Structure 1
Amino acid sequence: MFLHEGGHFLAAKLFKIRVEKFALFFDPWFNLVSFKPKKSDTKYVLGWLPLGGYVKISGMIDESMDTEQMKQPVQPWEFRAKPAWQRLIVMLAGVIVNFIMALFIYAMILFVWGKTFVPIENVKDGFKFNEIAQQYGFRDGDIPLCTDEVAFTRFDNTQSIGNVYRAISEATSCTVLRNGKEVTLTLPGNMNMLDMMKYKPPFMLELMPSVIDSVVAGSAAAKVGIKAGDKVVGFNGKNISTWNEFTLEKSRLAEMLNKKASDMDHRTMLQRVFSHTPGCSPKDSLAIRTVTLAVAHKDGSIDTLKVQLDAQLSLGATWTASREKYEKTHINYSFLAAFPAGVKHGVGVFKGYIDDLKYLFTKDGAKSIGSFGAIGSLFPTTWDWQRFWELTAFISLMLAFMNVLPIPALDGGHALFLVAEVVTRRKPSEKFMEMAEKTGMTFLLLLMAYAIFNDIIHFAF
């Protein structure tokens, strides 16, 4: 935000427009810190409301709603006294700085850390597809190579996973590697990516064989003699062969527990809450948590075991994520080579972000709108400088795009009116600009309130 407002500030100074205030965070009624250097027209302020920041430019209707100033005669150092093309540059300068900064950060990430990834063809176990995906011709173990528009290179982080889902959702064909041969499948070209990802199980996931990597001492698995190297081949009488299927069956148990809890009358529920035993009855819970597993041992023998999962439905056994065992590729970048690669990567991220915005206008997409809580949840629980800078660059791109939207009170709204002025050679009236600013600010405040409400709902429940 500091850099965004700094862009407006520097552009205004370039055209000799007076900046009355440079504020980091908003400062209604009072501020935390303020100072004004000698021989300067600008007061620098640290506000108390962390919802962004602003620069107050003389002779402009903005967040300050200083209409009294607009009633005075026009001064040569005011925003309204300058040509439309200069005012347009001032309005877009913050967005331009955000965009350039994001691309620079991506370039420096590649220069410092390089790029390490698992090529999609190295995902030797392939992928697990749900019933809907199989209706389109996908089969467990397939490796997607490309669509009619996009070639896949990796599938080992959130962004690459999103790229694969996005491409398949929009594709009319997809080529997969199946048993060493390429097979082309026909797709509808208009699948909903959010639906694909929220299905239980999702449209596609990395296929993870159900071979147990380790067993926690004293866990449910340890108590019945399950050991590392064993393979779970059955769950409550149903044949399974992957960790994906095991996880799906556990999710169904969780749904059963929740249903039992919701079936209780309110009086019983209150009694359980105050006695610190919420949920369904201990007897019902124990019955649901006691499962029958078929376990294949290293020596080829198969045992049928009664296992009592813990309250979190944990078996106490772990599987190694497939992506950890696949051969990785690492690319180093020189300082100069990092810039075109960083620009290409940043533009790709930006295009994906814009493409996914259409889902905001769906019911599920609207629920995903968040504020500080949602942004904070993007950052890892343990400090990781590379992840920190990747998210900083992404947020800078988001700010650039959101601010350029043609909404009054945002930079894009002001820019739209300036473009209209250039085309029509007619300047909008100050009364119109004042009403547009109020309308835009009202909309943005309501949107912020909705985002904060979503955060509260998400983290409380």
Structure 2
Amino acid sequence: MSPIIIKTIQFFLSLSLLIVLHELGHFIPAKLFKTRVEKFYLFFDVKFSLFKKKIGETVYGIGWLPLGGYVKIAGMIDESMDTEAMKEEPKPWEFRSKPAWQRLIIMLGGVTVNFVLAVIIYIGMAWSYGEEFIPADSLKDGFWVTEKSIGDKLGVQTGDLIVAIDGEKVQKFGSLPIEIINGNTMTIQRDGQTFEKEIPVDFIATLLEDEDKIRFITLRRPFFVGEIPDDSANKDSGLMAEDKIIAIEGREVKYFDEVKPLLEEFKSQKVELTVLRNDKQKLSIPVHISDTATVGFRPGLIDTDAMKDLGLLDIQKVKYSFLESIPAGIDKGISTLSGYVKQMKKIFNPSTGAYKGVGGFAAIGGLFPDAWNWPAFWSATAFISIILAFMNILPIPALDGGHVMFLLYEIVTGRKPSDKFLEYAQMIGFFLLIALLLFANGNDVYKWLFK
């Protein structure tokens, strides 16, 4: 099956699950407070529905426009803009007739469910899969900066170790790129010295110029011989796959990143490679370096388990009991939300250039893997649920957060905004959301066409 189709299926399955549960977050408290719910829809039913059925006082359906979903609560000014019904006298079963605290709970239900759902997913993942990561401080000789221009912009170089971001210790090497993006300062260890450096305010914009280089920091790996093509000048040199290169012309090398500068120095020459075969036999093999500074074979792949066996790093594997998975899942939910809030702060600061990275449906779909993978699916679903929770609680009219803002004003002041004011606010919020939707998906189209 095509990777695009697999991504699309995962996207719509995840989105449908999140929308239905979000709307249930409004539906259930509305029913508990005896408020009439007229519609419950997955996706929007502009002009027509793909499916609908009335059960009791509520019409349940599936719309054709997959931009979200909604519950239409009687006596509430929402995206339906049903102003005619608002001209009638309030009925006891309408939203507007309920006490402010009940209306507040109804409006907070959706974002609450989204956050709780993410935590439940993280708890389930911790219990089912556990956790495996490379402790950042276990890298014996620092990391490898694969994109020197980006490293220079940030102020890091191969062999460095970033031990803290904004004063917080970096625990996991895999989380380092996103922590750099979200951070303001970093603490670096270099050649036995420790110093602090500011992260350039426009560093995100630098990464977005070429998103293929966003993983500019990686592990330093030993240089093993891989496949030697038949047309290689060194096919009959005596080199064998899985030989480990430990010196070039007597100059010791430990990592792949140390090899390239030496090959540049000796290009178009014959040199002696010292290799270690089967971890015990040391051999000197003469090879020819091409005029493009290559040895004529593909580097051999070595996984992190093998690197651990060589003593180059550590791998921490954590298994959680069900009870242990609960605080682990809660911590993951809180840290994910905190990280996303930091990203949003960067986006709303024009000087960072982070707004260029805002994406729409294509960007969200890109969170899912090309092949079906349940851990990756649930991880992406939990993250999107966190995004929905945060975005919906923003104090923008037409979002849950806009309704919450006006309800809090009513609770504090004792004065309820007029229906006419709420209608205008809903319209303004709706146009703001359309503008944001166009901008985000326009970014996706621009990247697809020009990058």
Shift of the alpha carbon at 1:305?
Answer: 3.0
**Alignment RMSD, CA only?**
3.6
Contact in 1 for aligned 2:369/2:376 (Cα 8 Å)? yes
Deviations 1:235-278 (A, max 9, x none): xxxxx986558899xxxxxxxxxxxxxxxxxxxxxxxxxxxxxx
CA distance in 2, matches of 1:307, 1:67: 76
Q: Report the equivalent of 1:343.
A: 330
Change in 2 beyond 3 A, CA 1:315/1:112: same
Asked if 1:184 is matched to 2:180, the reply is no
Does 2:10 align with 1:10? no
Between stretches 390-399 and 300-309, larger displacement belongs to 300-309
1:110-140 CA distances to partner (integer Å, 9 max, x unpaired)? 0111111112233234213557867998563
C-alpha distance after superposition, 1:158-214 (max 9, x if no partner): x45312x257x423x625375xx5x32132366545157569977962343461442
Which whole-Å CA distance do the structure 1 matches of 2:233 and 2:215 have between them?
Answer: 30
Corresponding residue number in structure 2 for 1:144: 162
Q: 2:247 touches 2:274 (CA, 8 Å); kept in 1?
A: no
Output aligned runs, 1:302-381, within 5 Å: 303-306=287-290, 316-320=298-302, 325-326=307-308, 327-361=314-348, 362=350, 364-381=353-370
Gap regions ≥5 residues in structure 2: 1-18, 262-266, 276-282, 309-313
Checking the alignment, whether the CA contact within 8 Å between 1:32 and 1:48 is kept in structure 2 is: yes
Structure 1 SS opposite 2:42: strand
- Residues 190 and 134 (structure 1), Cα distance of their counterparts in 2 relative to 1, 3 Å cut: closer
- Contact residue 225 and residue 297 of structure 2 kept, 8 A: no
1:197-216 pair list within 5 angstroms:
197=207, 205-209=217-221, 211-215=223-227
Tell me what 2:86 maps to: 70
Secondary structure of the residue that 2:71 maps to in structure 1?
strand
Q: Which of 184, 192, 195 in structure 2 is aligned with 1:170?
A: 184
Corresponding letter in the other structure for 2:48: F
Q: Tell me by how many angstroms 1:343 deviates.
A: 0.4
| Structure 1 residue aligned with 2:382 | 393
Quick one: distance in 1 between partners of 2:379 and 2:325?
Answer: 15
Equivalent residue, structure 2, for 1:107: 123
Letter in 1 for 2:318: I
Q: Which moved more, 1:75-84 or 1:380-389?
A: 380-389
**Residue 108 of structure 2 aligns with which residue?**
92
Normalising to structure 1: TM-score of the pair? 0.76
Which of residues 136, 139, 142 in structure 2 aligns to 1:120? 136
Contact 1:371 1:451 in 2 (8 A): yes
Relative to structure 1, the CA distance from residue 216 to residue 59 in structure 2 (aligned partners, 3 Å threshold; closer, same or farther) is farther
C-alpha distance in 1 between matches for 2:77 and 2:150: 53
Aligned runs of 1:409-420 on 2, under 5 Å? 409-420=398-409
Q: Secondary structure at the match of 2:52?
A: strand
Count of residue pairs brought into register by the alignment = 403
Residues 52, 59 of structure 2: 8 Å contact kept:
yes
| Consecutive unaligned residues in structure 1, runs of 5 or more | 235-239, 249-290
Counterpart Cα distance in 2 of 1:190 and 1:424: 44
Letter in 1 for 2:329: G
- Aligned-residue offset at 1:103: 0.7
Q: Partner of 2:439: helix, strand, or coil?
A: helix
User: 1:293 offset after TM fit, Å?
Assistant: 8.9
**CA offset digits 1:358-405 (Å, max 9, x no partner):** 232347422222222111111111222111111111110000000000
In 2: Cα distance, 1:357 partner to 1:408 partner: 19
Partner of 2:11: none
The CA deviation at 1:16 is 0.7
Task: Quote how far apart the aligned CAs of 1:146 are.
Answer: 3.1
Q: Which amino acid aligns with 2:101?
A: W
* Cα separation, partners in 2 of 1:59 and 1:378, compared to 1, 3 Å: same
Sequence identity percentage? 39
User: Structure 1 pair 128/196, CA: closer, same or farther in 2 (3 Å)?
Assistant: farther
For residue 265 of structure 1, what is the aligned residue in structure 2? none
